[in-house]
Amino acid sequence: MATNLDIDRGLLEKALRLGGKKTKKAVVIEALEEYVRRLEQMKIIDLFGKVDFDPAYDYKKQRRRE
């Protein structure tokens, strides 16, 4: 999808240099992927304390059934 963005030139150049990417597009794609990963991780972190844990569950026994 073609999109016009007004991105801080210094920030983009720094990202190109540090990330070792050759194109601006590659930097933007990597940044978006990282952003999505972080948001997904935050959703998982929000689940801590909300998911029931069964200390008697034997995952090794479960594996043997399959």
Length of the chain: 66
Q: Where are the domains of the chain?
A: 9-65
Looking at residue 36, its pLDDT comes to 98
Determine the distance from the C-alpha atom of residue 47 to the mean position of all C-alpha atoms in its chain, rounded to a whole number: 17
Three-state SS at 64: helix
Cβ pair 27, 16 in contact under 8 A? yes
Range 10-23 burial, b when 16+ CB lie within 10 A, else e:
eeeeebeeeeebee
Q: What is the pLDDT along the chain (66 residues), one digit of tens a residue?
A: 888 999 999 999 999 999 999 999 999 999 999 999 999 999 988 888 887 888 888 888 888 765
